[in-house]
Amino acid sequence: MSKRLDYNQVAPAGLKALGGVYGYILQSSLSPILVDLVYLRISQINNCAYCLDMHTRDLLKRGQPIEKIALVQAWPEAGGLFDERERAALAWAESVTRVAETGVPDAAYAAVRAVFDERELVDLTIAIGLMNTYNRMAISFRNTPQAVLDNKQG
């Protein structure tokens, strides 16, 4: 698949606004590793190759073991690889990302609120919405994953 257009060039102000939200999440109290795990899980759900590649690389750079990264998709069966906050964030990310199917039930809210305070939960939900937006941009306009670019050069 070839790239359809470069949305960074077409709408730089729009992407700058999204970047502002990204920056907000970076300065939040949420752990960068937790956020990257959530970004990776959302990208798995949405089948976004560009973002899957990016967030896998980000987690590796942050020192996360490949075994943990490989099991993000099956986190409920991954035993103690994911801590309580990571499990709650991943479950919330799945429910919110699949909002049309789940309706984000009260039980999902109660489970995540048991682990995150109000501000953290709002920030986490902003991060989830942002990654869903980035996935839709990358998929719609066919952003090429870095791994594909590296493979062409090699």
pLDDT tens string 117-138: 999 999 999 999 999 999 999 9
Q: 82 CB contacts (<8 Å, ≥6 apart)?
A: 37, 68, 75, 90
Residue 5 maps to a domain:
no
- Per-residue confidence (pLDDT) for residue 148, from 0 to 100: 75
Q: 34 CB contacts (<8 Å, ≥6 apart)?
A: 85, 86, 89
> What CATH number is associated with residue 36?
1.20.1290.10
Question: What is the pLDDT confidence band of residue 154, given thresholds at 50, 70 and 90?
Answer: low
Residue 1 maps to a domain:
no
One-letter amino acid at 70 equals A
Tally of domains in the chain: 1
CA distances (Å), 134 to each of 113, 138, 153, in order? 26, 6, 26
pLDDT tens string 7-54: 999 999 999 999 999 999 999 999 999 999 999 999 999 999 999 999
Q: Which tops the pLDDT comparison, 1 or 70? A: 70
pLDDT tens string 92-111: 999 999 999 999 999 999 99
Tokens representing residue 29 in the block: 């109290």
Question: What is the pLDDT confidence band of residue 3, given thresholds at 50, 70 and 90?
Answer: confident
Domain that holds residue 63: 10-149
Cβ atoms < 10 Å from Cβ of 17: 11
- Per-residue confidence (pLDDT) for residue 57, from 0 to 100: 97
Say whether pLDDT at 88 is over 70.
yes
Residue 35 maps to a domain:
yes
Residue 137 maps to a domain:
yes
pLDDT tens string 63-80: 999 999 999 999 999 989
